[in-house]
Amino acid sequence: GPAPLPDDPPSVDVFVPIYNEPVDILYRTLVACRAMDYPRFTVWVLDDGRRDEVRHVAEELGCGYLRRQDNRFAKAGNLNHALACTSGELVAVLDTDHAPVVSFLRETVGLLLRDPRAAFVQTPHFFYNPDPFQRNLLAEQEISSEQDMFYRVVLPGRDRWNAAFFCGSGAVFRRRALEEIGGFQTGTITEDIHTSIMLHARGWRSLVRDRILAAGLAPEDLRSFLKQRIRWATGTIQMTRLANPLTLPGLSLPQRLCYFSSVYYFFFPFARI
Task: Please pick, among 95, 97, 159, 192, the residue that the annotation labels catalytic.
Answer: 192
CB atoms within 10 A of CB 62: 10
Angle at 262 between CA 18 and CA 251, to 5 degrees: 100
192 given a catalytic annotation: yes
Of residues 194, 57, 199, 191, the one with CA closest to residue 118:
199
15 close to 93: Cβ distance less than 8 angstroms: yes
Would you call 158 exposed, middle or buried from its count of C-beta atoms within 10 A (0-12, 13-18, 19+)?
buried
Instruction: Compute the distance between CA of residue 169 and CA of residue 96 in angstroms, rounded to an integer.
Output: 9
User: Which amino acid is residue 51, in one-letter code?
Assistant: R
Cα within 13 Å of Cα(125), Cβ side: 24
261: left (phi over 0), alpha (psi -120 to 50) or beta: alpha
Burial of 181 per CB tally in 10 Å (0-12, 13-18, 19+): middle
Is there a catalytic annotation at residue 221? no
Q: Find out whether 130 and 62 touch, Cβ atoms under 8 Å.
A: no
Q: Quote the CA–CA distance of 123 and 146 in Å, as a whole number.
A: 17
Rg (CA), the chain: 18
- Which residue among 48, 97, 131, 159 is the active-site one? 48
Catalytic residues, by residue number, are 48, 192
